Structure 1
Amino acid sequence: MRIAALLAAIVAFIGGASALLQGPLPGDVTLTLALQETLGARPFWAGWLTDTAKAPLLWGTLVVAGALAYQVARLRGALALPLAYAFAFAADKGLRAVLFVPRPDPALVAVADPAASSGLPSTFGLVYGAMFGVALLASGPAHRARAARLLAGGLLIAGVSARITLGGHWSSQMIASTALGMLAAQAALAITARLPLPRRAR
C-alpha cells in the first residue's frame, strides 16, 4: 500500500504540475540537454528501444517482461503482466481523450521526431512502467528475484532515458507516466494475488 500511495502521489504531483503549467518543469531542460550532450541527440539504440513499446516489437518486449515477472512471482507474476498492460492501455486512451500537454520545444532541446500529439501521458512510459513494474513490484524470494529486478529496472531506466534523449518527452512527463504504469502493475498484482492457484504455481 505504501508503494501504491507513493506512485499515486508522484502521478498527482508531477503529472498535475505538468498539465497545469503546460511546459517543462524545473530541471526538465537541463536534464534533457545533459543526456543529449552525453549520449548524442539521436543515438541509434534509442530509436530502436522506443519501437519496443509498440507492435510488432512490443510482443517481444511482453515475452521478456513476462519471463522476468515469472522469475520473481511465478504464475501470479506472469498472469499479472497482460492485466497490467490492459490497465496501461486503457489509461493511455482515457487520458489522451481529456489531456493535452505540449511535448519538448525544438527551440529548447533537440527533437529527433517532432509530434503534434500530447506529451502526457507518454505511451512508452505507461507501457514500460506496467510491464517491467510487475517484476519490480511483485513479491518473491530474494534469491530468485534479485537478477530479474535488476534487469527489469535497467531496461526501464534505459527506455525512459531513450525517450528523453530523443526529445520525445520531458523528464517530468516520463516520470509521471512511468509511475502511472507501475501503479497499473501494482493493481494487476493485487488482483492476481487473490487467485486460487496451486502452491507449486505460486
Structure 2
Amino acid sequence: MKLVYSPASPFVRKVEVVLRETGQIDDVDLLPVKTTPVSTPVELQSANPLGKIPALIRGDGPAIYDSRVICQFLNDRAGGGLYPDASRWEVMTLEATADGILDAAVLMVYESRVRPPHMVYEDWVEAQWEKAARGVKAVNDRWMSHLTGPLNIGQIAIGCALGYLDFRHAGRNWRKGNDALDDWFAVFNARDSMKATQPSD
C-alpha cells in the first residue's frame, strides 16, 4: 500500500498514528506530495479526484480517502479495536469534532497563505478560530470521560487536532480555560506514535 501524504497535514498524521498504533506502519510506503487548494499534483489527482490528502493506494482495490475512511479501513484490517462497540457513536463524534476543529484551523492557514494579502478576510479568519475554539471547549467541558480508557480513534483525532493548533496557531493558546484537556494532551502527546509523527513543513 502507498499513502499519499504531506508531513504537515494533521489528517495525514491521524492516519500515521493509526498505522503505528496498530502495527501496520511497515505495510505502507509514503508518497509525499505538495498540494494547495489551487494546485493539485497529478499523482494525487489519480488517487483522489478531490485533490485532498491523505489517500491510500491499495494493491487489491481502488484508492480510498478521506482520513476517516482510511482509519476505519486500517482498524478493520488489523483488528485494532479503535471503534469500540460500546461507545462507537461517541468515539466517532469525537473524531468528527476533531476533524471540524482541523477544517477551521487549516482554512485559517490557507486564507493567509493562498490569498493575496489585500484579499485576506480577517473577520472570516476570526470566525474560523471561533469554530475551532468552540470545539476545543466542548471537548474540555463535555467529552473528557471519553478520552480515558483503552485507545480509540476519538483520542487519536483529538490529539492530532490539538497538536496542529500548537503547530500552526500557538499564539491563539487553546489551553486557556481548558485545563482538563491540557492535562490530558500532555500525557497523550508523549505516546511514541505521537512523538514519531510530529508535523513539519
TM-score range, shorter chain: 0.3 to 0.5
Larger helix fraction of residues: 1
| TM-score, normalization by structure 2 | 0.36
